[in-house]
Structure 1
């Protein structure tokens, strides 16, 4: 057998061997104790505390060695500060602290808050305590006064919702520290939670799209020999299906006549949001584009239509070539889609709108209408190029977002360009397109 004992004393059983083993055991126990004390002290002593401790030791050594009374006074002052700091850590908090989030999902601009509750279940009043609550990138100090026995103190902390995103809230941490800041002890009470700030959306009636064609009543202008919506009859031509012959019209005219139908399709909407920073002039323009894309996507999901929402994948910083791929956002429910939009951001290296259109036109089957949501930095030639990347028969609508711009609509071959300056302009622009 080979273990620590055999490595130390071999197979000896004498008093000397037992003494060696005992000394090693005591040494290891003392080492573990010292390590634990060191870790506990290091967890509460701040950088300023270690600096004051080092200066105190140096002041005593130098002051007594060379007889410098002023330096000795500095050492005793450091000692007094150390004693005060140690007294500040004595005792433990009697409070039980909790944190609740009434809403985990809010829209941009909606009020949101975190409720911090401090309860005192003991028979003695608590001492004033300071709690720290991280909210996003900020840190909020929550001052808890003296709580009476079996009392409760409630504090509501507002959550900033001026920008969309995912905010980490918590954990709630109790802090005990001395007035100078030499020591600091933290106690975590509540775990971290998240608040998802959705982009602002506008209600778009399902009839306002006007461009959607499906089996529930919207027919296209394309004619086909077999479908649901009857259009007219025409003369028989070689190659027509004999089953489409309309015999009553044939008997009246004396020539074979066949039925002709309007082609109907199941609507498949595509919403492609540009995320390249070269396509936008500022952050406000991109936020308007995100809100417009979210409004279109959530309206289609609520209508039960087949919808695909995509953004370009980001190319890694040191990649040798661009990544030709798209990221599809979940469209199971409007909430899931808005959750995904809350994390969408601009990228320095990603595909332009024309390449995004090419990839989605290649991969998504049966597209009826495609919405390209971009910024004002994208010109009309780039939008026309993107429209040509979709299959023939797809209605392409480019939504150009330019804050505070006058809304306008331009119709070119195979493309409709809607310029919006405010989010509400999107609803009006789609109404006008439907009427046209």
Structure 2
């Protein structure tokens, strides 16, 4: 914050006069005028004193020469919906003179709560003060914090000048992630036997190549046939561990969801996608998020495989923090990314489906190593019908049956259902594959 000089500083100070300062100035000028009309010299002295006090405060405040720097730190930087986060502010006096009274106000969206305000009496030269406040949002999203506004005030409250810093931060509020039970899934790799064969089929060929011998290599890895061919020692590279792949498909179509706010079917679907994606990443799956628009958030294999599961989890949660309803009418744009990724586990979180969309999903099942569908009965979110746990609309039951006949593990979801309990039913032993039925025919 730089000082103001000359007439521009005085004008800024006059504009910053408070109600008290303006009242003193008006009373002083009135007393001066009355002293001439009434020929009272004592009243003139009082008027000059009253007018000089706010003018002096404005001039001194506008001519301050100290500099103030600010910093902001979020803890955590990525908050969970419904949980509090703390914002830490640091004010540094980088000048050689102490500051006067400082009033701080940080700009935050109304969703996070009221604007925090602080009063600092004095900051020593080269010193600093730290303050903090809490924010909380029940709605996921990305919320700007700042810029910080600083107001200078004189001890008598005659004048206030506002300064605004340019720096700001963003708080990301992600959906709540529920802990899911460990169940058997198609495509998982234990590392031996038939599990490993299935995983390699999902993840691709072994990364086995030859390279020149290096000091310290195990001689048992020497490939003698290639050594004889090239005339120098050649060894096998160790096989890289393979991971099963998974994709989480989120249906964001506005026509496929009902309800509004945090209690809508769409918000349940977003929370379900977040929980499933994080659960699969923790189990070692290379997981990515897809939407009906074809948007894809890569898993840990992105960037040459340098991303960890925690990095991929953060990317997916950040994407789900801002995902919104789309105006799409179908799921066709998600098919090409799924085909390009090859075989793997597919978990779809779906809203209302029509006959054509159900048929497309049924055909898509043949391209995946395993398929699980959370099919939302959105009528229960809109309160259109009160149904028993194992019943539903005739059309909804038809969609469930068609997907199951195509080999999907279908989990009907109704308002109020528990995601961990639904996930408990996802078991490959309980979902007979249509290919095994054909083989036994």
Q: TM-score, normalised by structure 2?
A: 0.57
Which residue is 1:71 aligned to? none
The within-5 A match list for 1:144-163 is 144-147=119-122, 149=124, 153-163=129-139
Report the count of equivalent residues. 318
Task: Name the counterpart of 2:80.
Answer: 107
Question: Where does structure 1 lack aligned partners over 5 or more consecutive residues?
Answer: 1-35, 50-76, 225-264, 314-325
Contact 1:199-1:342 within 8 A present in 2 as well: yes
1:143 corresponds to which residue?
Answer: 118
- Aligned-residue CA RMSD in angstroms? 4.7
Q: Distance in 2 between matches of 1:303 and 1:423?
A: 27
Q: Counterparts of 2:51 and 2:292 in 1: how far apart (Å)?
A: 60
Please give the per-residue CA displacement for 1:153-193, whole angstroms capped at 9, x wherever unaligned. 543211223222222222323124799999844152x8322
Change (3 A) 1:362 1:45: farther
SS at match of 1:392: helix
Q: CA deviation at 1:115?
A: 1.6
Query: Are residues 1:270 and 2:244 paired?
Result: no
Alignment of 1:248-259 (within 5 A): none
- For residues 108-130 of structure 1, the C-alpha deviation after alignment (integer angstroms, 9 at most, x for no partner) is 22221112234668898643222
**How many Å apart are 1:275 and its aligned residue?**
1.8
Q: Deviations over 1:401-435 (max 9, x none)?
A: 45879766955312343233579722222222316
SS in 1 for 2:64: coil
Structure 1 CA distance for aligned equivalents of residues 195 and 177 of structure 2: 26
1:362–1:391: structure 2 CA closer, same or farther, 3 Å change rule?
Answer: same
Q: Which has the larger radius of gyration?
A: 1
The gaps in structure 2 that reach 5 residues or longer are: 19-49, 202-241, 301-311, 382-386, 392-399, 431-441
What residue number does 2:341 align with?
Answer: 364
Aligned counterparts of 1:186 and 1:145: Cα–Cα separation in 2: 15
Alignment partner, residue 43 of structure 2? none
Given the superposition, is the C-alpha separation of residues 424 and 309 from structure 1 closer, same or farther in structure 2, using an over 3 Å criterion?
Answer: same
Distance 1:289 1:310 in 2: 13
**Aligned mates of 1:180, 1:136 — CA distance in 2:** 29
Evaluate the alpha carbon distance shift between residue 125 and residue 270 of structure 1 in structure 2; reply closer, same or farther with a 3 A threshold: closer
The answer to whether the 8 A contact 1:117-1:154 is kept is yes
| Offset from partner CA, 1:316-364 (integer Å, 9 cap, x none) | xxxxxxxxxx2111322212222222222223x3x33431453344333
Among 299, 305, 310, the alignment partner of 2:285 is 305
Contact 2:256 2:353 in 1 (8 A): no
The answer to whether 1:431 aligns with 2:435 is: no
